[in-house]
Every structure is written in structure tokens, then in C-alpha cells.
Amino acid sequence: MRRLFWGVVGIGIGAVVGVSIVRWAGKTKQRYSPPNLAREAGGVASDFASRVRDALDAGREEMTRAEMEIRAELGLPVQ
């Protein structure tokens, strides 16, 4: 009776582990398929471009502010 019980428990655990591995492998395959990789790369590229654009805008604003301060100190007209 014990052997039968532990045999059934072992088969049950094996089935659960097997199903889990098959599901994990399917999700991993889906995640690394070419369309998904391209979509992720596009998202990363657009995020990077947005950050560069924001940094350039902040740099331009700071340059304008610094130029106005220098012109004010030197008594030059503001353009």
C-alpha cells in the first residue's frame, strides 16, 4: 500500500513539474521570437530617442539662460 501511495505521489509530482517546464519553455520561445524581439527593440530605441531629445532641450534652455546672464553682465542688448 505504501509503495502504491508513493508511486502515485511521484507520478503526480512528475506531471506537475513536466507541465510547468513545458509552459515555461513555451513562454520563453514566445518571448524570444523575432516579432517580439523587434517590438522590444523598437520600444527601447524610441525611449532612447525621447531621452536624447529631452536632454538636448534641457541643454538648449540652459545655454539660453547662460547667454542672457552673460549679456546682462556685459551690458549687451538681449537678442
- For 6-26, the pLDDT digits (tens) are 999 999 999 999 999 999 999
CA dihedral 59, 62, 64, 66 (to 10 degrees): -130
Residue 1: which pLDDT band, with cuts at 50, 70 and 90?
A: confident
Residue with grid cell 549679456, as numbered in its chain = 71
Residue 33, H or E segment? none
Confidence of residue 42 (pLDDT cuts 50, 70, 90): confident
The residue whose grid cell reads 517546464 is 21
Question: Are 27 and 19 within 8 A, CB to CB?
Answer: no
- Residue 45 pLDDT level (bands cut at 50, 70, 90): confident
Pairwise CA distance, residues 41 & 35, whole Å: 10
pTM of the model: 0.47
